[in-house]
Amino acid sequence: MRAGYDESPVNPVPAVIWLLALPILASELYFGLGRLGFLSGGSGAGQAARQIMVERTAFAPEFLIRAWDRHSVAGGQLWRMLSYPFVHYSMTHALFVLVFLLALGNMVALAMRPWAVAVVFASAAVGGAAVYAAIAAALPQMRFDPLVGGYPAVYGLLGAFTFLLWARLGEEHANQFRAFTLIGFLLAFQLIFGVLFGGAGKNWIAEVAGFVIGFLMSFVLVPGGLARLRGRIRHR
């Protein structure tokens, strides 16, 4: 190829993002094979397998509440705080999460080390679940459905991406609140969608918590993040 024309216009997706996406892709492939009749049980085997996997991986706030009350994590199934992001209610649900993961993860990985991207993803999933359970414990009269799917985790990547925009706008002496436009749009969209089509639960609590965790952790995980913060404080 001619010089200057041999570079791809699209950044290749880092391996760590594919590793995070692999369990989602594998589970959807398995469920898809069931729909096509390749699993025992006929054409309904795929949906049955999805339901079983959702039940085995979902995080219900009661798991953490009981562990807190017993002062012990033994038998509390707290591993579900890391398993729930990888199984989804439907293929559409999984597809949206994968789009977020690949797009946001690719951009965040340009500024973070691979292990840091994985830490943000996992911390947002665990932290989002913990905040969700804490609020459920504080409001026992209200129903909190189990957490299923990767939105809290990818919202952590959205928080990291927002930090990168926030830092860049600060360097340009522009309005840094513009960095929060995307999270505001997504939350408004979820609210409108829930009102119009029903099913608006309280999972947004875990998602917002995941976003905040991803944003705050970026001060430590993005090279120069703490230095930017100290510089902002000194100039106030």
CATH code for position 155: 1.20.1540.10
Q: Given this model, what pLDDT does residue 110 score?
A: 92
Q: Which of residues 75 and 219 earns the better pLDDT score? A: 219
Determine which helix (DSSP H) or strand (DSSP E) holds 28, and give its type and residue range: helix 15-35
Task: Please report whether residue 6 resides in a domain.
Answer: no
198 lies in some domain: yes
Q: Residue 172 has what pLDDT?
A: 83
Considering the entire predicted model, what is its pTM? Answer: 0.88
Q: What is the pLDDT of residue 145?
A: 94
Strand, helix or coil for residue 153: helix
Q: Which tokens in the block code for residue 39?
A: 């699993």
> Residue 39 belongs to what domain range?
15-234
Tell me whether residue 46 is in a domain.
yes
Average pLDDT over residues 37-63: 88
Q: Is there a domain that residue 163 lies in?
A: yes
Number of domains in the chain: 1
Q: Is 139 exposed, middle or buried (0-12, 13-18, 19+ CB in 10 A)?
A: exposed
pLDDT of residue 15: 94
Task: Please check the confidence at residue 7 and state whether its pLDDT lies above 60.
Answer: no
Quickly tell me which residue has 């705050």 as its tokens: 216
Banded pLDDT at 227 (limits 50, 70, 90) = low
Quick check: 207 pLDDT over 50? yes
| pLDDT of 70 over the 60 cut | yes
Q: Residues of 169-184 as b/e, b for ≥16 C-beta within 10 angstroms?
A: ebeeeeebeebeeebe
Neighbours of 196 (CB within 10 A): 8
Q: How far apart are CA 127 and CA 136, in angstroms?
A: 14
Q: Does residue 206 form part of some domain? A: yes
Q: What is the mean pLDDT of the chain?
A: 87
Asked whether 131 and 139 are in contact (CB, 8 A), the reply is: no
Q: Does any domain span residue 3? A: no
In a domain, 9, yes or no: no
Classify residue 213: in a domain, yes or no: yes
Q: Please indicate whether residue 41 or residue 178 has the higher confidence score (pLDDT).
A: 178
Alpha helices for 110-223 (secondary structure H): 114-138, 151-171, 181-197, 204-221
